[in-house]
Amino acid sequence: MARIGRLSTKGSVLLLCDMQEKFRPNIFQFTNIVNNAARLLQACRILGIPQILTEQYPKGLGPTVPELGADGLKPHTKTSFTMMIESVQSSLKSLDDPQQVILCGIEAQACIACTTFDLLERDMEVHIVADAVSSRSQTDRLFALSRLKQSGAFLTTTEAVLLQLVQDAKHPSFKEIQKLLAHPSPDTGLLAFYTVKEELAMSAVQTSCVKLSSRERKEEEERTTERRRNKH
């Protein structure tokens, strides 16, 4: 049966990637990205979903920003672009190898991308929370999201994740989750993502038309050559 990407509180884990101080002035929509990630973290704590936090070379890039609210989470320090370092893999194994990953953080074209590829190669289901993921460049961010969707990751939003996890207003934790949804997520520039998709689609159409025109020209040349032969 094909995977449809239905999230569940069972067998899921939240990965929080490298939201550190030195990135603050350079990452597009940093404040809103971290605020959305913080809501995801709060929701996962309420729902009992485990969380894993990484930091990229904290000696140079600083600690995790306090507004994420990751107190109590011991960060896995790394230098590689993937989060799937040995200590993280050990943590996942201790959680009985969850099969659904909710992924947020920075940067989309680097650590988020490399982590996604590693998770997909392990046949894990990856849900990238697009409004909790960013890059220094909006271009890199949007094209990375498009690329990762092509590779098999599910793109979603903070509010969509929270609602999918509770599934029902009768869920015992719904009122707590509802408080996290009191204000809609801010616009983080994702509408441009659809412009990118449209441009890629248009480019594909144009390429197809060029190929078709070339084929038509070749066929016409062949017909002309054949007519000349028949005259002789």
Decide: helix, strand or coil at residue 137: coil
The answer to whether the CB of 154 falls within 8 A of the CB of 125 is: yes
**Which is the catalytic residue, given 17, 44, 104, 111?**
111
Sign for the pseudo-dihedral over CA of 171, 5, 121, 80: negative
Cα 138 off chain centre by: 14
Q: Is 78 a catalytic residue?
A: yes
CA–CA distance, 174 with 67 (Å, rounded to integer): 23
**Which is the catalytic residue, given 78, 104, 118, 131?**
78
Q: Is 111 a catalytic residue?
A: yes
Token pair, residue 203, equals 């480019």
Q: Is 18 a catalytic residue?
A: yes
CA angle 103–25–66, rounded 5-degree value: 60
Q: What amino acid occupies position 103?
A: L
Known catalytic residues?
A: 18, 78, 111
